[in-house]
Amino acid sequence: MKKFAVIGLAIGLVVAAILLSWQHFKSSHDESVRKLLAGAWTLDGSSSYTARPDGTFVRVFTNFNTGRVVTNEGTFQVKDGFIFETVTKSSRTNTHVPITSHSWIIRAEANQIVVIDGDPGGNVQHIFRRETR
């Protein structure tokens, strides 16, 4: 009986260690993506996206229906492999803020970040390409 208690305790400790390690890896990966995201990007080749180290962003794009340039500003957070955005200011006069959205991070590299809108399994892929000047 004592043998089973020791084995159970050992298994419990191993599982706890694995869970703690996994949580640490996730948070450090999120932090590296957040730092990587800081800078100026072209999104899908048609809009600009500037992410600041303080967690704020500015996105400028052209509304294809009206031909008008739209500027959205807000905050972003990288957590659990997702980018969460909240638009707090928009140049569109009929937009009600805040607007929240999230994208699943597929790949994050120094010059390119690939995301899919919404939950995993979504089908709208967007590509951020770092602007070079």
Has residue 85 got a pLDDT over 80? Answer: yes
pLDDT score recorded for residue 129: 95
CA dihedral 112, 118, 120, 123 (to 10 degrees): -70
Q: Which domain holds residue 82?
A: 2-130
CA terminus-to-terminus distance, the chain: 70
The verdict on whether omega for the bond into residue 98 sits within 30 degrees of 0, i.e. cis, is yes
Q: What is the average pLDDT across 111-131?
A: 85
Q: What's the CATH code of the domain at 70?
A: 2.40.128.280
- Residue 9 vs residue 85, higher pLDDT: 85
The number of distinct structural domains making up the chain is 1
Q: Are 114 and 35 in contact (CB under 8 A)?
A: no
Which amino acid is it at 114? V
Per-residue pLDDT of 24-81, as tens digits, reads: 444 578 999 999 999 999 988 889 999 999 999 999 999 888 889 999 999 999 999 9
Give 2's DSSP letter: H
pLDDT score recorded for residue 1: 63
Has residue 7 got a pLDDT over 80? Answer: no
